[in-house]
Structure 1
Amino acid sequence: MAITAADVKALREKTGAGMMECKKALTECDGDMAKAEKLLKEKGLAAVAKRAERATSEGRLFIREQNGKIAVVELTCETDFVANNADFIAVGEKLLDVTFEKGYTKVEDEHNTILEPLKVSIRENMNVAKVEVIDVPADSSAAFYIHSDHKTGAVVVIKGSTADAVKTFAKDCCLHIAAFTPAYTAKKDVPDSYIAEQKEIFKAQMDQDEKMAGKPDNVKEGILQGKINKHLAEICFEDQMFVKDDKKTVTAKLAEVGKEAGASLSFATAKLFILGK
């Protein structure tokens, strides 16, 4: 059976395979379009398996708020060129769609099934690296932010009010988190093991400092605790100086906004998302 250019073009549009591969598949299948499509898919899936060990350090974060929830999807690939591909972006949005439709809260088989055709057509290793869903209670204000490179994002949920001022503050907190990348939300979230390790580091630094020589142990202990408190204030979101008012901590600003809204506010969620972490 004669293989026409139109046949090759039609098969290419269906599969995303190269023109020569489409022509070869149609020739092998005697022009049968369905068989040729199946053959290319089988070959494509085999190629996908071979690429599975390749590093996927590029990609995008996708975040959406819908029906009292915020969903975050992390989709990774090998190159930034593919991360900016329109089809890659469309698949990311589709992954959000199915997450909301099915009520998924983690990566499920259906997410990977949706991604599979794109892996075949683009010929690059890709992974649905993360699916996370955050609840937004009825009495809360929520916001999210994705940086222009789509590799850094933040989600903030503030309980206690839905006033416009609180919504604005939630958005500003997202910008703060993306800019200052706090490691923890509050001091209570910091593991004791981390604090102990940090104390050892500061203590070793103090032992090497000539200015510390001869100081009483209680004075050294006070200085050490001061260093720890300062460090925790730098890495904990609630104790950092607020990005839009560096004279006040985030906690102090929260109280100020709460007073303005006539409500007692608290952070239900204040989370940083970074591609690959």
Structure 2
Amino acid sequence: MAITAADVKALREKTGAGMMECKKALTEANGDAAEAEKILKEKGLAAVAKRAERATSEGRIFVRQNGNKIAVAEVTCETDFVAKNTDFIALGEKILDIVFEKGYTKVEKELEDLVLELATKIRENMSLRRLEVIDVPAGSAASTYVHSDFKTGAVVVVEGSDSDDVKVFAKDCCLHLAAFTPSYTTKEEVPQSYIDEQKEIFKAQMAQDEKMASKPENVKAGILQGKINKHLAEICFVDQMFVKDDKVSVAKKLEEVSKAVGAKLSFKKVALYILGK
């Protein structure tokens, strides 16, 4: 059966495969478009399988709020070039569409199949690395943020009021997360093993300081604790200096906003999403 240019074009538009690949597949399938599409898919799957062990260190963070729910999806790929591809971006948005439509709260096969379909077409290893759905309680203010490189995202939900002032505060907190990338929300979340490790590091540094050697042990202990407290304030969200007012901590700013709106506010959700972490 003769293969026409129109046949090749139609198959190319449907599969996204190259012109020569489409022509070869149609020839192999004796002009049967459906069979040619199957051949291309099988070849694409084979290519993806070969790439399965390749690192997917690029990609995008997708965040969207729909009513009282916020969905976050992290879709990864091999190259920044593909991460900027319109089909890849459309894939992330489609995943969020389905999450809200079907109420998914974790990675489901339907979503994995969508990723595999595009990976087969582009022939680059991809994965839906993370999916999270966050509930926003009634009377709460929520905000989301995705940085311009799409590799960092943030979600903050503040309970106690949904006033405009609290919404602005929640948005500022998202910007704060992206700017200062705290490792923890509060000191209580920091593992004791991490604190002990930092103490050993600071002790070693102090031991190399000649001026420190002559100080009494109780003074050294106080200095050591001061260093730990300062370090924890640097890595814990509520203790960091607020992004819009570096004279007060995030916790203090929360108190100020609480007084301003006449409500007791608290953080229901504070989440930072960094691609690959």
Does TM-score exceed 0.5, indicating one fold? Answer: yes
TM range (shorter): over 0.9
2:158 counterpart of 1:158: yes
Q: Distance in 2 between matches of 1:25 and 1:128?
A: 30
Q: Distance in 2 between matches of 1:120 and 1:113?
A: 10
- Could you tell me which residue of structure 1 aligns to residue 248 of structure 2? 248
- Could you tell me which residue of structure 1 aligns to residue 182 of structure 2? 182
Structure 1: gaps of 5 or more residues: none
Tell me the TM-score normalised to structure 2 length.
0.98
Q: How does 1:131-150 map to 2 (within 5 A)?
A: 131-150=131-150
Higher mean C-alpha deviation, range 169-178 or range 76-85: 76-85
Q: Distance in 2 between matches of 1:10 and 1:213?
A: 80
Q: How does 1:42-61 map to 2 (within 5 A)?
A: 42-61=42-61
Q: Distance in 2 between matches of 1:28 and 1:82?
A: 29
Measured after TM superposition, the shift of residue 22 of structure 1 is 0.9
Measured after TM superposition, the shift of residue 20 of structure 1 is 1.0
Measured after TM superposition, the shift of residue 106 of structure 1 is 2.0
2:261 counterpart of 1:264: no
Measured after TM superposition, the shift of residue 67 of structure 1 is 2.7
- Could you tell me which residue of structure 1 aligns to residue 14 of structure 2? 14
- Could you tell me which residue of structure 1 aligns to residue 200 of structure 2? 200
- Could you tell me which residue of structure 2 aligns to residue 90 of structure 1? 90
Task: Give CA-to-partner distance per residue, 1:227-276, whole Å, 9 cap, x none.
Answer: 10010011100001101111111011001111111100011111111000
Task: Give CA-to-partner distance per residue, 1:110-166, whole Å, 9 cap, x none.
Answer: 111111221112111111111011111112100010000000111101010001000
Letter in 1 for 2:197: E
- Could you tell me which residue of structure 1 aligns to residue 222 of structure 2? 222
Measured after TM superposition, the shift of residue 21 of structure 1 is 1.2
Letter in 2 for 1:139: G
Q: How does 1:30-109 map to 2 (within 5 A)?
A: 30-109=30-109
2:116 counterpart of 1:116: yes
Q: Distance in 1 between matches of 2:51 and 2:205?
A: 47
Q: Distance in 1 between matches of 2:206 and 2:108?
A: 50
- Could you tell me which residue of structure 2 aligns to residue 211 of structure 1? 211
Q: Distance in 2 between matches of 1:206 and 1:62?
A: 45
Measured after TM superposition, the shift of residue 102 of structure 1 is 2.2
Measured after TM superposition, the shift of residue 39 of structure 1 is 1.3
Q: Distance in 2 between matches of 1:19 and 1:244?
A: 54
Q: Is the 8 A contact 2:41 2:121 kept in 1?
A: no
Q: Distance in 1 between matches of 2:225 and 2:103?
A: 46
Q: Distance in 1 between matches of 2:217 and 2:173?
A: 40
Q: Helix, strand or coil for the counterpart of 1:101?
A: helix
Q: Distance in 2 between matches of 1:245 and 1:237?
A: 14
Structure 1's consecutive aligned runs of 4 or more residues displaced over 6 angstroms after TM superposition are none
Structure 2: gaps of 5 or more residues: none
Q: Helix, strand or coil for the counterpart of 2:128?
A: strand
Letter in 1 for 2:205: Q
Q: Distance in 2 between matches of 1:67 and 1:173?
A: 20
Q: Distance in 2 between matches of 1:165 and 1:64?
A: 21
Measured after TM superposition, the shift of residue 78 of structure 1 is 1.1
- The percentage of aligned residue pairs carrying the same residue is 74
Letter in 2 for 1:19: M
- Could you tell me which residue of structure 1 aligns to residue 129 of structure 2? 129
